[in-house]
Each structure stands twice: as C-alpha cells, then as structure tokens.
Amino acid sequence: MNIDEMPALPRVKALPKVLLRRVMLAFLVAETSNRTSVTISHRQIAGKLNRSSHRLIGKHLEALIDAGFIEVAMESGGVVPHSYKRGAFFYGRTRDNERLISLSQILSGSEGLLSDWKEVSAWGHGALGPIGVLCVATLSRLEGPTAQPALKRYLEPLCVGSSVDKKLRDLRECGLVVKTSEGVALVADWERVLHRVLAKNPAGHLRKGRGDHRRKCESEANFRSVNRGCLSDEERRQMGSLLCVVCGIRRGVEGEHFPPKRFLDLVKERNHRAFLWAICRTCNNAESEFIKAMRDCKPEDLKAISLKGVRDPLAAYLAYSNVRRQIFHDAVKTLDYETAERVVCEVLAFWHALETMGLTGYADRISAPVDGDLSATADVHPAVCASQLPLGVNKRYADEIPIKRRGHILVERVFFVDEFARSRDHLPSTSHQLRVTVMCKQKAS
C-alpha cells in the first residue's frame, strides 16, 4: 500500500492546538457515540500515553470539556472513574463534526493507525513522542518508501510539516528510518530497532514503570479508603466549592467533623464521609474553644433502631446527624454545653449501632444483631447512595415522645428529612422523605 491509498486524514478547523489533546480526543470520540459513553480514569489515560501526572491528564480533559468536544456522562466518586460522552460539538450533523468522527476512526478505530501500537514507552518525553509515534505508525502501514513531502501532507491535519521534518531527522539518526532516492522508509527490522532505541534511553521505561507502580498503589489505597467510607480525592476537591454549613456565606474550604473529632476516638474510621461537612475557616476557629471545653461524650444506650423502608442506612444517619448538627451549632452560639453534649451523645449512639451491624462501609449490608438489646429491622437496598457530599442546612423538626417502661423512659425521636442529592448543586433533588425512629433508653427521674 502506498500513502495515496491510505485513508486520508480530514482537516478539522476546531481541533485543539496541543497534539496530545488531539490524540486523546480521537481516542475518546472513537470509543463513544452520541448515545454511548466510555468509563475511563485519568490514571488509565496517563498509563496509555506514558504520562507521569494524571493531574495533567485531568487538565487536558477539562480543556476538551470546556471546548465542547466531550462532556461527563456520569460523574462518580471513589474508585469508579467518570464516564465521558461526546459533547455539544457533535449536536446535529455538521461538516466539522463528521470530519472529526472520521479522523478519530482513522487514528483510534478498530483498524486505525494507533490501534495496534504496543510500545507505550515511546509516547513519553525523551522517546519518540506523539509526532514520532504518528510517523512510525504511518510508515509501518506502507509497503515501500514514500516521498517525505507526501508524508508531511498526509500528517498535516494533525501536525505542522516542520515538526515532521525535525522528527524524521531524529528517527534517521537513531536508525529507525532510512532515506533513499525514492523517499523515507522504516528499516526492515524496525520493531527490534525501536525496542533497542527505547532501551538506550531508559527514561521512558523508568517513567512507565514508576507510573504503573504509583497508579497501582494509588488505586489500591483509594479503593481501601473509599471502601471504608472516606471521601475520594475528587470529593475532597468538590468540598472546597461548597458553602459553609454554619454561616452559608463563605466557601467551606475546611472539613468539619460532626461529631467533633475529639469524640471519635472509639470510631473505626474517623474520616468517614458521614462525619465531614464543609465549613469555612472563620466558623471552624470560632467553635474550637467551645469544643475543647466540652466534657467527654459517650454514646447513649440505644434500645432499638427502626430503619424499615430506608433504602440507605447511611442516608438515614446523615438525616439524623444533620438535625442534631444544627442544634449543636445553635448551642455553641449560646454557650449551651449541656445541649451540645447531649446531641453529640445521641449521634455517637446512632453511629455506634450502625457500625456494630456493619452498615457504615461503602458496600453497605445488613448483618444479624449482636445482642438482644439491639434490634434492627430494615429493608435496605444493596446499592450505595453515600457517595454524595453533605450539602445545605435543610432544617427540619424532631419530635420526642416519652414512653415510660420498667423504670426507664424510652424517648421515641421521629423526624422527617428530605433525601436529596448532595454532591452537586445542579443535580435534581428528590421529593422522597426519610422517616427515622430512634428509641433511646433513659433513666426515669
């Protein structure tokens, strides 16, 4: 096959200026359609292109999103990567978006130029780089030499001719490409030569090895952390954009623990997502002296927890905790230590009960009660609904109904709290309400 018989790369006016972004865009467009999406993480793309920083990959993806080429089909948290689909650029049928789809298939389709490229190290800095990979991949499809101007014209929709000239000189110097009277061509055993060239400059292999090892460690650590209920890296970044839950004015650049962190010594995971709320530095500092002066708080003795009809026990806990958190902040303003200590004990008791039954992890589940004093009835959906961040101050009411029984008062606390999306302002709220009943055993006076 000569170069004139190869599928021509169409010109697209609106392509990103950076070649690496063009390659990423071609891959994403080839993997998706107007109705389907692809789930891929920054770490996976960084490994595919031999880049050491997945944060830089994130910036490239953000640039493609801002330009309308792609959009997030499903934003997830934790160990599950985002899903991407084609963006507004592909709405309707235009000459430009049809050309971009064709370009993507020629590059990254099932039989594209880059579909069978195996040397990941070649993408890195100090190795062939994106232009070198494109030159070698194109020449490998040809049966004989091709004129250098023809190769430049073929790749011109992706990279400028002067860059191709410079890269071909580098490829000749390293012995991958030869120049004859008929043009340029790869050497006969170019795959072995490429492997030797990459071995002479170990930076690419070292970067790939370090990157693969770090990505594996990060993924495993992130999985373990999120599986215990902690916030993912993405959710921590989101928290900085939320308003403070105390004043509702300033950005909640810090994470406030409720119950306060000093009372979470007996909790298995102190940084569980259910304890963290966005708070501004001013409000956080204003409450610190009050919290230091509080007495030690121990969980109440819970008689029974009824979660019947609740799909997610962590959502029930968040609803229960949200009401008492607001009471706590009001108590701080009035220096009411007794009320503050009471609500902290109540919330700790609820959490301790859920923790005892194994309902506080990312993969929530119901297990048998551990003793006769603690009972639970639940209709719990196995899916996880706890990946959202707690947003808003959504004030509701709590009714307490005392019931005398055998020298104790069972205080039935009943309240209603909207179950709403907490990770993004633009997510639609739901009208479903949680009804949570907690029976607390107190001594009769």
CATH number at residue 54: 1.10.10.10
Q: Helix axis angle, 337-356 relative to 313-333, nearest 10°? A: 170
Tell me the sheet residues that pair with 331: none
**What is the structure's pLDDT at 314?**
72
Cα-based distances in Å from 62 to 82, 180, 198, 271: 12, 44, 31, 29
166-180, 263-277, 361-375: least confidently modelled range: 361-375
pLDDT confidence band for 108 (50 / 70 / 90): confident
Higher pLDDT, 75 or 85: 85
Which pLDDT tens digit goes with each residue over 373-383? 222 322 222 22
Domain membership of residue 208 (yes or no) is: no
Q: How far apart are CA 207 and CA 51, in angstroms?
A: 8
Asked if the model's pLDDT at residue 190 lies above 70, the reply is yes
Does 375 lie in the same domain as 276? yes
Name the maximum alpha-carbon separation found in the chain. Answer: 105
- For residue 222, being part of any structural domain is answered with no
Of the candidates 334, 339, 321, 343, the residue with the CA atom closest to the CA atom of residue 256:
321
Q: What is the H or E stretch that residue 365 is in?
A: none
The count of C-alpha atoms lying within 13 angstroms of the C-alpha of 384, restricted to the half-sphere facing its C-beta, is 19
Strand, helix or coil at 77?
A: coil
Percent of the chain at pLDDT > 70 equals 63
- Per-residue model confidence (pLDDT) at position 412: 38
Same domain? For 182 and 253 the reply is no
Rg, C-alpha atoms of the chain: 30
Domains: count for the chain: 2
- Give the tens place of pLDDT for each residue, 142-176: 888 899 999 999 999 998 889 999 999 989 988 88
Question: 237 and 135 in one domain?
Answer: no
Examine residue 205 and state whether it is found in any structural domain, yes or no.
no
Last residue of a domain, one of 200, 218, 236: 200
What do you get for the CA distance between the two ends of the chain, in Å? 95
- In this structure, which amino acid lies at residue 273? R
Amino acid at 394: N
Find, among 113, 87, 111, the residue nearest to 32 by Cα: 87
Query: Is residue 232 one of the residues assigned to a domain?
Result: yes
Q: Does residue 175 sit in the same domain as residue 291?
A: no
| Averaged pLDDT of the chain | 71
How far apart, in whole angstroms, are the C-alpha atoms of residue 381 and residue 227?
17
- Which candidate, 256, 259, 356, places its Cα nearest to that of 298? 259
Cis peptide before 259 (omega within 30 of 0): yes
Range of the domain at 436: 228-443
Do 152 and 260 belong together in one domain?
A: no
Judge whether residue 89 has pLDDT over 80: yes
Evaluate whether residue 215 is within a structural domain. no
Model-level pTM? 0.51
Residues 36 and 122 in one domain: yes
* Whether residues 249 and 395 fall in one domain: yes
Q: Write out the two tokens for 34.
A: 């107007």
In our burial notation (b when 16+ CB lie closer than 10 A, e otherwise), range 348-386 reads bbbbbbbbbbebbbbebebeebeeeebebebebeeebbb
Q: Does residue 210 sit within a domain?
A: no
Q: Which of 126, 384, 107, 310 is nearest to 99 (CA)?
A: 107
Do 236 and 158 reside in the same domain of the chain? Answer: no
Residue 91 shares a structural domain with residue 183: yes
Phi, psi dihedral angles at 415 (to 5 degrees): -150, 160
Q: For position 306, what pLDDT does the model report?
A: 58
Distance (Å, rounded) from C-alpha 24 to C-alpha 55?
Answer: 15
The answer to whether residue 365 sits within a structural domain is: yes
d(CA 203, CA 195): 13
Final residue of a domain: which of 200, 218, 244?
200
Specify the higher pLDDT residue, 166 or 2: 166
What pLDDT sits at residue 169?
92
Question: Measured between alpha carbons, how far is residue 101 from residues 49, 58, 153 in Å?
Answer: 21, 22, 20
Q: Which of 163, 182, 200 is the last residue of a domain?
A: 200
Cβ–Cβ < 8 Å for 110, 121 = no
Q: Which is higher by pLDDT, 144 or 241? A: 144
Percent of the chain, pLDDT > 90? 6
Report d(CA 233, CA 79) in Å as an integer.
Answer: 10
Backbone angles phi, psi at 371, to 5 degrees: -155, 175
240 with 343, same domain: the answer is yes
Given a contact cutoff of 8 angstroms between Cβ atoms, the answer to whether 434 and 419 are in contact is yes
What distance in Å separates the CA atoms of residue 120 and residue 205, rounded to the nearest whole number? 9
Is 112 a member of any domain? yes
Mean pLDDT of all residues in 98-117:
88
Q: How far apart are CA 151 and CA 155, in angstroms?
A: 6
* Alpha helix (H) residue ranges in 75-184: 95-108, 129-139, 148-155, 161-173
Measured CA to CA, the distance from residue 339 to residue 275 in angstroms comes to 19
For residues 304 and 166, membership in a common domain is answered with: no
Whole-angstrom distance, CA of residue 223 vs CA of residue 227: 6
> Is residue 252 domain-shared with residue 153, that is, in the same domain?
no
